[in-house]
Amino acid sequence: MARTLTKADIVEAIYNETGKNRLDAKNAVEDLLDIMKKAIKKDHSLLISGFGKFECYEKNSRKGRNPQTEETITLPPRKVVVFRLSRKFRSELNS
């Protein structure tokens, strides 16, 4: 099973590639993630050319069921984020 890439792994990779200190690498990763979050919250989408697109959309309320009690409940509306690969990246993965 593949190991999950964590934020700490990304910081370590930036540290190893650039030679900058770990604090600068950590701050760069945090800044990038903040920019991405703000873009998704504001515009409901974020496009990174050659990588993919993050899109936020609203899901309507729906009926659900508590599996322990079999009770029917109504799940409230919520926002979800989906990711779609770019064609270029998809073709790289499937080559």
**Spatial separation of the C-alpha atoms in residues 1 and 8, rounded to whole Å:** 20
Give this prediction's pTM: 0.77
Give the DSSP per-residue string, 11-59. HHHHHHHH---HHHHHHHHHHHHHHHHHHHHHHSEEEETTTEEEEEEEE
Let me know whether 34 and 66 are in one domain: no
Give the structural domain span for 22.
1-43
Joined together, the tokens standing for residue 20 give: 């900058």
Contact criterion met (CB below 8 Å) for 86 and 51? yes
pLDDT for res 57: 92
CATH number for 71: 4.10.520.10
Q: What is the pLDDT of residues 11-66, one digit of tens each?
A: 999 999 998 899 999 999 999 999 999 999 998 999 999 999 999 999 999 999 98
